[in-house]
Amino acid sequence: GLGGARVDRIAAAAGANKRMLYYYFGNKEALFTAVLEAAYESIRAAETRLSLLDVPPDEGIRRMIAFTWNYYLAHPEFLTLLNSENLHEARHLKVSPKIRTMNSPVIATLGEILRRGGRLGVFRANPHPLQLYISIAGLSYFFLSNNDTLSAVFDRDLARPAARRDRLAHMTDLVLGYLRHGRG
């Protein structure tokens, strides 16, 4: 974890000079904040390339769910960073002015998709975009972060490609089922 990490080991692993890390970041805490910011910048930049507003609302939601799932699968280090930051009670995110501004657009985009879906009668009226985002992220995050323990407890290999496909299909059905229930 961050507490046990030594700057000389971090520098060696990154192929960087320890003095330069101190010069640019000042300390290990600021370096970790910069790493978190870069991780969030990466996922948010990838989300903007999804063109979610250019497709029908249900397809936009489908893409968001699949993107979140696949991004977490392709970037397990992102989940590891989140786990570490949660252990530290988000102290690095709380001091970052960049984090809040870079996370607002995804919520605004989801809000527009949901409003459009409501107007078209495809989705229920007024689902909350932040709550929906947390649900989508949470469905993926919990399964992947706890894959080993869930596999052991239920005596199933939940990391198999078929199990992961089933999970993505289930999450998509769950979210779209909620959005479609009680519509118009």
Fold classification of 29-180 (topology level) = Tetracycline Repressor; domain 2 (1.10.357)
Please compute the mean of the pLDDT values over residues 48-64 and round it to a whole number: 96
Please give the mean pLDDT across all residues of the chain: 90
Q: What is the pLDDT of residue 11?
A: 65
Domain ranges for the chain: 29-180
DSSP string, 68-128: HHHHHHH-HHHHHHHHHHHHTTTHHHHT-HHHHHHHHHHHHHHHHHHHHHHHTTSS-S---
What's the pLDDT tens digit per position in 105-161? 999 999 999 999 999 999 999 999 999 999 999 999 999 999 999 999 999 999 999
Higher pLDDT among residues 59 and 24, named by residue: 59
pTM for the predicted model, two decimal places: 0.87
Please compute the mean of the pLDDT values over residues 168-179 and round it to a whole number: 98
What's the pLDDT tens digit per position in 82-98? 999 999 999 999 999 89
